[in-house]
Structure 1
Amino acid sequence: MPRVLVTYVRWVERFNWLFGRIAMYALLALMGVMLYGALARAVGNPPIWTDEMAQFLLMGYFMIGGAYALQLGSAVRMDLLYSRWSDKTRALVDILTVGSLLFYLCVLLWGGWESLQYALEYGERRRGTWRPYMAPVKAIMVLGILMMILQVLAFTIRDIARLKGEEI
């Protein structure tokens, strides 16, 4: 494989691994927000922001951690035949089916980008009492989808190398 592709695969996997590890700490922040909200309600002073903040933290965890989960092989896969195949057969099937995944992710990225632009242009806020700005959440969504696309492309390069008898 050309050196630039090997470098790309290693860079993307390091980047996604680092961000995935950082995203895991969002669960601690989520637990803290939920605990604070529960304690404040018990005292009789319910905060207006804890439920929405918990939703935003969970979405960030989910979107940023998606590429990391894919990298670790924790994504759900229909495994009736796949586990019985050789590495080269798996690589070939992955290469043949990656187009549909990339199409789906590109449509998501396009929609997310349009939504982010709208949120930035009009100062979009969520309905409700707290009314937080939506642009930061949508930016995290776009980043997470982009990270997934980069990881899928890295897997495809890895699969092509495997078909050629090389390992990255």
Structure 2
Amino acid sequence: MPSAIVAYVRRIDAMNRFIGRIAMYLIFALIGVLLWSSVAKTFFSPKLWTLETAQFVMVAYYVLGGPYSIQLGSNVRMDLFYGEWSPRRKAMVDAVTIFFLLFYLGVLFYGAVSSTAYSLGYFGTEPFSFFGNLAWAFVTGGPDAAGELMGYLETSPSAWRPYIWPVKVILCFGVLLMLLQCTAEFFRDIARIRGEEI
């Protein structure tokens, strides 16, 4: 395999391993929020923020840990025939079926970017140009200029009403990491078909 591809695979693996190892500790934050929710409901007045905070932490845990899960091969698979195949045959099938996953993740990424733009007050049909204009306004004019491009910030319809954009940004970042990891897995499968290991 070309050295650029090997370097790409190793860098993506290292980045997703680092982020995934940090993200797995979010389960303790989730436990803490849910524990506080139970204690508050039993001994004090129920808190409005606990349920949605638990949902937001779970989204971050799941989305940021997904690429690391793919890297480890611990994702769920339909293993009717796959488990008995040779590593080379698995790599051949994976090299083809990964395009379906990449297509799905591409659609999911576009939807996440569109939803994030909507949560920042953009109601048009070009979310990528909105973020380009937003970044340009921030670089040239600072936070005030960027703030002028944003409209009404979306909030949750609950009584607590937190802003939604932070969790949507995490979703965009997590899906992008998943796309990068799947591309690295594709290159790894091509190497296995050729009899090499990355």
Residue in structure 1 matched with residue 187 of structure 2 by the alignment: 157
Q: Which consecutive unaligned segments of at least 5 residues does structure 1 have?
A: none
Residue in structure 1 matched with residue 160 of structure 2 by the alignment: 130
Return the alpha-carbon distance in structure 2 between the equivalents of residues 110 and 154 of structure 1: 20
- The amino acid across from 1:56 in the alignment is F
| Cα shift readout 1:44-79 (whole Å, capped 9, x = no counterpart) | 321110011001101110111111111111111111
Deviation at 1:42, TM superposition (A): 1.4
Q: What percent identity do the matched residue pairs reach?
A: 49
Residue in structure 1 matched with residue 88 of structure 2 by the alignment: 88
Return the alpha-carbon distance in structure 2 between the equivalents of residues 110 and 90 of structure 1: 30
1:44 aligns with 2:44: yes
Could you tell me the TM-score, scaled by structure 2's length?
A: 0.82
Residue in structure 2 matched with residue 28 of structure 1 by the alignment: 28
- Matched residue count: 168
Return the alpha-carbon distance in structure 2 between the equivalents of residues 160 and 35 of structure 1: 46
More off after superposition, 146-155 vs 33-42: 33-42
Return the alpha-carbon distance in structure 2 between the equivalents of residues 41 and 85 of structure 1: 52
Return the alpha-carbon distance in structure 2 between the equivalents of residues 32 and 98 of structure 1: 37
- The amino acid across from 1:69 in the alignment is S
Could you tell me the TM-score, scaled by structure 1's length?
A: 0.96
**How do 1:94-109 and structure 2 match up within 5 A?**
94-109=94-109
Deviation at 1:86, TM superposition (A): 1.4
What RMSD over aligned residues (CA atoms) do the two structures have, in Å?
Answer: 0.9
